[in-house]
Chains A and B, each alone.
Chain A
Amino acid sequence: MQSHPADPLVRFTGVQKTYDGEHLVVRDLNLSIGRGEFVTLLGPSGSGKTTCLMMLAGFEVPTQGDIYLGTQRLNTLPPYQRNIGMVFQNYALFPHMTVEENLLYPLKTRKMPKDQAKAKVERILDMIQLTKYAKRRPQQLSGGQQQRVALARALVFEPQLVLMDEPLGALDKQLREHMQMEIRHLHEQLGLTVVFVTHDQDEALTMSNRVAVFNDGVIQQIDSPQNLYEYPANAFVAQFIGENNTLPAKVISRDQTIYRLEFGQNQVSGAYNADTLATQEAVLFSIRPERVRIGKMAQTLPNQFSTVVQELVYLGDHVRLRCEFAGNTNFNIKVPVSELTTPIQPQDHIMMGWHDQDARALKQLPQ
């Protein structure tokens, strides 16, 4: 895993943060972010991801540990000297200034000569294609345009690091997806180092080189989007990224990375885990809805079970079956419409199956 890039720009070492002196919002955080990397901090609200970002920006101070930007220790450096660009949740464009004045602001605070600053602003306005809106005020622009100005303002002074705090939260779905691609392209073109905070897993998977999944103040897993989805480190990550069917299970035996798990009433299935699990250990059996095959497709698979369809939802490209299986009444199966050869009704008994490698044996979360 690439949790320690060769040329780290940002390093958190043993960082802790508490607001009330009782509960740790962030505990023992160790994180390195490489130059030119796009790292997303993903997690539910209250998981500590925004606090991490704020500590990096300088609006919060770690109660323990150090943060480095390059070779510089950031802990005592005030935020206005950090030279970090930041895009805020509600853009925070100054309403009493025009778009142009907003973009000039960071250059003015850096005492850049006027003509040089003007040229820079013109260039970036051209890049975000808002040149003709230069004299407008932010509230006269649409949400997407404001978003682009906010982005431009965080980039115009060429900071070594750009932070984004759920910048796309206020946009509608279509525009959000468009902006995701736009930010991704900007990142590639300009070679930016970006730390992005979101609670939207699709956004995280779309844009990032690496995603750090936060829960309870701890990074549960930090990995590429693909590894995160395919090889979740624990039950939380498996649940949080994408959809998952889980069953409490027990380890019976092991064959290299494939474990045999028992769940329900003496039902046994193979499941993958690269780590060592003890025999008889209580684990979670987990499989993604799209990895479950039904009917004829299941017949050749090593793990086959019978189940009862409870509910059937047509979703255009796929059909979603909610089944009852091994005590879990919420066992979901996604069947591509093209594979659905015989019509299925609720209360039908169907056969389902999966490969050993598609199932996961996950460690239980510590309670």
Chain B
Amino acid sequence: MATQTMAPPPTTQTSLKTQLRRAERRRKLNAFLLVAPLALFLLVIFVFPIGSMLWRSVDNSELSQALPQTAQLLSAWDGQQPPSEAFYASLAQELKSALANGNIGSLGRRLTYEDPTLRTLVTQTIRKLPDTPETTWQQTFSTLNPRWAELSTWQALKKAAPTTTDRYLLASLDLERNAQGEITAVAPEKQVYIDVFLRTLAIAGAVTLICLIMGFPLAYLLATLPTGTSNLLMIFVLLPFWTSLLVRTAAWIVLLQSGGMVNTSLMGLGFISQPLELVFNRVGVLIAMVHILLPFMVLPLYSVMKGISPHYQRAAISLGAHPFKAFWQVYAPQTLAGVGAGTILVFIMALGYYITPALLGGPSDQMVSYYVAYYTNTTNNWGMAAALGSLLLIITLVLYMLYQRLVNQQTPNRR
């Protein structure tokens, strides 16, 4: 009996394998079905928009969509020979159809980036363009506006002709292509974005550092206090989440302005005679951002510290280490995972801050997000908005990868 059940005949064995596979397949299907809604959700609201944003930063389809035939001719053209009659004929035909299709608006906007006067030239030309040429189209165009006979007009059109471009990404790094197609720095007075990126990194870095300095002792206190007291304090830590970001930011203006509570109190107590400038500058931005982001530092630190037994420090002390040394040599290294998580969380969130610097900062405190918003809302320049956003995303990803590498080095062979 026993030996029979232990060694089943080979036929049973294969069917056993099939059974196992079938059971596994069902489990895999179940697992897939369980994550399917979330996967779909992420695809629709995360992967797809980010993908389309990344694409928009190099997208250059305005001209090729409005004037497909002309775009082909321009691409094949060397940019030196005067354009032939075919160019003018194709342009005349396609301008009319573009007008009918409603593509002129986006074409005009795109041409402005090459030369602000091109838009007027195009719109004026369309209005006066006859159905048939008098002699040649070339002649007709040149009569309508002598600029059509100039090589530079067509060179500008040629620049806008390819379906993709690196002009937005280059512009985000204060670079451009010159007439020869080489990458050069833009004129010094036009350089802004490198500064903006550096400023964004500096503000995010400063906020992260202040959060760490203030959050570490707080998290340590929370993790070492008796449960009842620490739960009460934890509610205070989470209190900022109960009001909206906008309300909190506005509240800081009220508190920090020159006639605000902080200044009047300090002056009333005789600490200062002049009100401090605490708002509409970097100080205000830092105060408000630290206030908002502090919980994101405290929570990961707290959860890591909660798991560290107080025995470790005691053990170190019993082995002859001064309590201060025991803290730094034994306790602090064990909190590194929490420090890393909190730091990266706060830093990445701070990189994308928009409302707080916009309301509490001065003109020189605006971060990348402000310019993204400016290009999307005010000038409709989606290419620039997407390019700035993409660069911010790349910076974030690089920093995250560095962090991962650091964490992996810290814990090389953990099981």
Sorting the interface of chain B by its residue count into under 10, 10 to 19, 20 to 34 or 35 or more gives 20 to 34
**CB distance B320 to A83 under 8 Å?**
yes
Separation of A90 and B311 alpha carbons in the complex (Å) = 8
Our pick among A57, A59, A86, A94 for the contact of B312 (Cβ within 8 Å) is: A94
B315 at the interface (CB under 8 A from A): yes
A137 contacts B319, C-beta separation under 8 Å: no
Q: Indicate which residue in B315, B410, B413 contacts A92 across the interface (CB closer than 8 Å).
A: B315
CA distance A149 to B413 in the complex (A): 19
Count, A-B residue pairs, CB within 8 A: 70
B311 touching A92, Cβ below 8 Å: yes
Q: Are A80 and B334 in contact (CB under 8 A)?
A: no
One of B314, B316, B319, B333 near A59 (C-beta < 8 A): B314
Q: Which of B24-32, B96-104, B292-300, B322-330 contacts A (4 or more CB under 8 A)?
A: B322-330
Question: Which residue on chain B has the smallest CB distance to residue A88?
Answer: B311
Bound Cα distance A80, B326 (Å): 10
Interface-central residue, B315, B326, B330, B334, by most chain A CB under 10 Å: B315
A93 to chain B minimum Cβ distance, whole angstroms, is 8
Q: Do B414 and A80 touch (CB < 8 A)?
A: no
Most buried by A among B319, B325, B334: B319
Hey, which chain A residues are within 8 Å of B316, CB to CB? Answer: 94, 105
User: Which residues in chain A, 91-142, are within 8 Å of chain B measured between CB atoms?
Assistant: 92-96, 105-106, 109-110, 137, 139-140
Least CB separation from A106: chain B residue: B319
Q: Are A86 and B325 neighbours in the complex by a CB distance under 8 Å?
A: no
Looking at the complex, which one of A89, A95, A105, A139 makes contact with B319 (CB distance below 8 Å)?
A: A105
Query: A153 near B319 (CB under 8 angstroms)?
Result: yes
**Cβ-defined contact, B334 with A96, below 8 A:** yes
Q: Which residues of A contact B323 (CB under 8 A)?
A: 80
Are A106 and B311 touching (Cβ within 8 A)?
Answer: no
Say if the beta carbon of A289 comes within 8 Å of chain B.
no
Within 8 A of A (CB), among B299-343: 309, 311-312, 314-323, 325-326, 329-330, 333-334, 336
Is the Cβ of B318 less than 8 Å from the Cβ of A79?
A: yes
In the complex, A93→B312 CA distance in Å? Answer: 7
For residue B325, which residues in chain A have a CB less than 8 angstroms away from its CB? Answer: 109
CA distance A81 to B322 in the complex (A): 9
| B333→A80 contact, CB < 8 A | no
Report Cα–Cα, A157/B316, bound state, in Å: 13
- Nearest Cβ in chain B — how far from A192, in angstroms? 16
Would B414 and A79 count as touching, CB distance under 8 A? no
B320: contacting residue among A59, A80, A139, CB under 8 A: A80
A85 within 8 A of B: yes
A92 x B309 contact (CB < 8 A): yes
Q: A94-B330, A137-B414, A139-B415 are in contact. Are A88 and B314 (CB under 8 A)?
A: yes
Residues of A within 8 Å of B410, CB to CB, are 96
Q: A89 — nearest CB in chain B belongs to which residue?
A: B311
Q: Which residues of B contact A139 (CB under 8 A)?
A: 414-415
Interface contact A106-B413, CB-CB below 8 Å = no
Partner of A80, one of B309, B311, B322, B329: B322
Give the most central of A58, A80, A106: most B CB within 10 Å.
Answer: A80
Chain A 52-86 residues near chain B, CB threshold 8 A? 57-59, 79-86
Choose among B309, B315, B322, B333 the residue that contacts A86 (Cβ–Cβ < 8 A): B315
Residues from chain A with a CB closer than 8 A to the CB of B326 are 80
CB-CB under 8 A from B330, the residues of chain A are 94
Q: Which residues from chain B contact A86 at a C-beta distance below 8 Å?
A: 314-315, 318
Given the interface pairs A139-B414, A139-B415, A140-B415, the reply to whether A95 lies near B334 with Cβ below 8 Å is yes
B21 to nearest A CB, angstroms? 35
If A92-B309, A95-B334, A96-B333 touch, whether A109 touches B319 (CB-CB below 8 Å) is yes
Bound CA span A93–B309, Å: 11
The reply to whether A92 and B321 contact each other, CB–CB distance below 8 Å, is: no
Known: A80-B320, A140-B413, A157-B320. A90 touches B314 (CB 8 A): no
**Complex-state Cα separation, A52 to B413, whole angstroms:** 39
Question: Which chain A residue lies CB-closest to B313?
Answer: A92
Q: Told that A79-B317, A137-B414 touch, could you supply 5 new A-B pairs with CB distance under 8 A?
A: A80-B326, A86-B318, A92-B309, A105-B321, A153-B319
Using a CB–CB cutoff of 8 Å, the interface residues on chain A facing chain B are: 57-59, 79-86, 88-90, 92-96, 105-106, 109-110, 137, 139-140, 153-154, 157
Mind listing 8 A-B residue pairs with CB under 8 Å? Answer: A80-B321, A80-B322, A92-B309, A106-B319, A139-B414, A140-B415, A153-B319, A157-B319
